[in-house]
Structure 1
Amino acid sequence: MAGRFRQQIDDEILDRAAGLFAQHGFAQTSLKSLADAVGLSKPGLLHHFPSKEALYEAALGLGQALGERVLEQLEPLPPGPDRDRRALELLTDIALDRPGLVALGFRSLTAPDIDPANNTYDTFVEKIFAVDLAAAPPDRVVRVVGALSALAALSLAANEVGDKTTWRPHIIETCSDAIGHHRPDAAASRSSQVEA
């Protein structure tokens, strides 16, 4: 029981720290700002993680572990709409629970030169959506990156508003539309909006 509680605290620390690393970059994020963000003193934070570097590496490691779990669940699905939809569902759940890790994961896309060691985003995206970002048709690349960008922005907004459960299905549908897999009823509702 105590070990599980400790793991929950560590995961919360990692998520909040990941959000700060995403916002400011590793070099510009101080140990004091990390401790303040998680409500601990510097010695209290160092009790959980021995250094800022260890905290950063642990945040990246947790993000990678979550990504690997997603890949394991997607492995039986062939590339296509069902796999894309399931990927978006799994990623939305992670994003709603771990907004800091999502922000850190997207840092390599939004500021690739700041933390070059954190440039695993492309490989992760390629594996999940079975797409080679360098060789795929531009429309597929734009749709995948657009869907993930929407997922990140919407999940962060849902966390700010505090209405994650209500937003979840809408986030998934918006991202499915962005990736090019429209709901059967979506075309009908769109055409009625255009006609009105």
Structure 2
Amino acid sequence: MARPTRHRAEMEILDLAAGLFARHGFAHTSLKDLADAVGLSKAGLLHHYPSKEALFEAAQEACQAQGRRVLDQVAELPPGPARDRRALELLTDVALDLPGLVSLAFGAVTSPEEPVIAIEDVMVFEVFAVAPDGSDVERAIRVVGALAALAVLSVTANRAGEKTAWRPHIITTCLDALGHRRPGTPSPDPDPALAKD
């Protein structure tokens, strides 16, 4: 079996470390925990990253780099369903390949006591062409909801070992959250309690 490239090995280290930071928080993740997770001695890990802080910063930068890569690939598409679909395809591939980075990126939403990376810092609002002035609250909420679903579903797919089988369903679920229903899918009935007489 071929050895992974240096870049791939570094990404594996960052992804495993990011997953630990997301689960336990920076303060509660020791250098020994990190070294054990990535299969290195503490000295070996320190050879790659001079400190726990440097590893944490590198993981944050990797999250932001993935966001920039996705933004670069959809920036020329006009806002709308085609851009949303392409963004979700790209983000789903990242999430299925690097679940630790995704967990870290969304840690700010799930762990309010220790914000890790604000959603805005991974450029998702730009990726989905959400108005920067906050004027479209529903769109912003739908984007956050779709991405929360993407994060949870991709981590679950990884744990279940079902990345390939789950991928199209993750994308469809997120498109539904954005309001892009599949053709032939009926709209949900309005809540009768909210209907006007």
Common topology (TM > 0.5): yes
Q: Which runs of 5+ in 1 are unaligned?
A: 192-196
One-letter amino acid of the structure 2 residue matched with residue 129 of structure 1: F
2:140 is matched with 141
Question: 1:112–1:167: structure 2 CA closer, same or farther, 3 Å change rule?
Answer: same
2:84 is matched with 84
SS in 1 for 2:185: helix
Shift of 1:186: 2.8
SS in 2 for 1:158: helix
- Distance in 1 (alpha carbons) for counterparts of 2:45 and 2:36: 9
Q: Could you report, residue by residue, the CA deviation over 1:98-137 in whole angstroms, capped at 9, with x for unpaired residues? A: 0000000001222244146x32x12512111111376233
TM-score by length of 1: 0.88
- Distance in 2 (alpha carbons) for counterparts of 1:105 and 1:11: 15
- Distance in 1 (alpha carbons) for counterparts of 2:75 and 2:83: 9
Q: Could you report, residue by residue, the CA deviation over 1:136-161 in whole angstroms, capped at 9, with x for unpaired residues? A: 33322221111101100100010000
- Distance in 1 (alpha carbons) for counterparts of 2:20 and 2:133: 30
Aligned pairs for 1:1-196 within 5 A: 5-115=5-115, 118-119=117-118, 121-123=119-121, 124-132=123-131, 135-187=134-186
1:194 is matched with none
- Distance in 2 (alpha carbons) for counterparts of 1:160 and 1:72: 29
CA contact (8 A) 1:122 1:133 kept: no
Shift of 1:38: 1.0
- Distance in 2 (alpha carbons) for counterparts of 1:187 and 1:55: 48
Q: Could you report, residue by residue, the CA deviation over 1:37-83 in whole angstroms, capped at 9, with x for unpaired residues? A: 11111111112111111111111111111111101101110111111
Comparing 6-15 and 137-146, the one that deviates more: 137-146
CA contact (8 A) 1:133 1:141 kept: no
Shift of 1:89: 0.6
- Distance in 2 (alpha carbons) for counterparts of 1:151 and 1:136: 24
Q: Which runs of 5+ in 2 are unaligned?
A: 190-197
Shift of 1:166: 0.7
One-letter amino acid of the structure 2 residue matched with residue 88 of structure 1: L
SS in 2 for 1:186: coil
- Distance in 2 (alpha carbons) for counterparts of 1:7 and 1:142: 35
Question: 1:65–1:3: structure 2 CA closer, same or farther, 3 Å change rule?
Answer: farther
One-letter amino acid of the structure 2 residue matched with residue 70 of structure 1: V
- Distance in 2 (alpha carbons) for counterparts of 1:88 and 1:130: 13
Is the helix fraction higher in 1 or 2? 1
TM-score by length of 2: 0.87
- Distance in 2 (alpha carbons) for counterparts of 1:43 and 1:185: 58
Cα root mean square deviation, aligned: 2.1
Shift of 1:4: 6.5
CA contact (8 A) 1:25 1:115 kept: no
Paired residues, number? 187
